[in-house]
Chain A
């Protein structure tokens, strides 16, 4: 069992492994990163046991490297995920995620009367609290707590 799990992680020649994603957030991460629209080989593991905490998910993407602006979006829902950059079967970089100060486009405002929900406008949110992940709509100024954050489909 253990051996098998290692294999899942290690058997990537070049690409990115995103590890330590809480199991219930895995498919959200997939959609936020737009992996469903990617041509690369992708392996997804979920409900794996984790030494750190509970059940985790893991995503391996062959021949794909992310810009930090791209990858940091998932810090909104999986702030403890770890990014491994793999080159020639080796982990050449281990990256912790950092929450950006501003998030454009991916969050949907919860306020139905917000201008972004009624006009063709890209949303923009300020991250006001990086600990508890509270965001504030740049336009209608509504504060949104982490559990209430909605993502654009």
Chain B
């Protein structure tokens, strides 16, 4: 395995997380640097994700690197039956680094084992999306001034939402307190609660989004209709887990609302004007976090 690859957030130690966050801070101050001059980065999107791809390609371009790749696998040799292994080996002969998104779970781990160059996972199916987690951490650090001892509320689909699982793992280094707010159908899986218990991390579970007065971070997620067998139940749940502007009254001054975007209806539009709404800046922070991750993978910082 290529040791510089980033496949899963658990590949990063606490020290590495802090190093990336600090580097992202420097890239935000000074985003245009020639660190990737004469370097070629491949962005291989075996399934389309315009938002993630543009964020990566912006990061690469701001660093003076060149981009090769594809944004959709339907026109590539992959669609003609070439194995993932062959595609990765071929591209790793051309590029200095590969950023990849793939519909299959585990595709990035496998690619990191056959590639000669580092792999950055930009999402493998329902499994991992570690650069999203790093931009979440950077956003938390930037708005709270620290990652330590924070009160983090996670809301919505905590069962299938990979972003909350990865955030939980990453934050576990920093002595957090968690509040999980989800309907019964979408509760935080046992596996993660056991993980918290074993690490001595305090958590509680609630089924309603009402008391958020203690929260430092309110991390909202999409509640998708497909997760419900009963659509009546979905309609009910959807409204219960929608954040409205008046719910922010009486909350802490430093509270910030995060969401991995795109939102469907979990956050009412009138929340956008609140200084506590942070999801659009959060998306922008992705470019700086990805600049830091790319440079780290190439040993440039």
Contact = CB atoms under 8 A, between A and B. Distances in A.
B105 interface: yes
Contacts, number: 51
B282 interface: no
A140 interface: yes
**Which of A111, A139, A143: most chain B CB closer than 10 A?**
A139
Chain A at the B interface: mostly helix, strand, loop or mixed?
Answer: loop
Interface in A68-118: 111, 113-116, 118
Contact of A119 (B8, B83, B124, B128): B83
A141 interface: yes
Given A119-B84, A119-B85, A141 B106 contact: yes
A118 B109 contact: no
Contact of A140 (B83, B85, B127): B127
Interface residues of B, number: 18
A114 B106 CA distance: 6
A80 B265 CA distance: 54
B54 interface: no
8 contacts: A113-B104, A113-B125, A115-B84, A115-B106, A115-B107, A140-B104, A140-B106, A141-B106
Interface in B191-229: 191
A119 B85 CA distance: 9
Interface string A127-146: 00000000001111111000
B110 interface: yes
Given A119-B83, A140-B125, A114 B104 contact: yes
B83 A113 contact: no
B74 to A, nearest CB: 17
Contacts of B124: 115, 140
Interface string B96-129: 0000001111110110000000000000111110
Interface residues of A, number: 16
A70 B126 CA distance: 33
B188 to A, nearest CB: 15
Task: Point out which of A113, A116, A137 has the most chain B C-beta atoms below 10 A from its C-beta.
Answer: A113
Contacts of B128: 141
Given A119-B83, A119-B84, A111 B110 contact: no
Given A113-B125, A113-B126, A119-B85, A139 B191 contact: no
A139 B83 contact: no
A121 B127 contact: no
Contacts of A141: 8, 105-106, 127-128
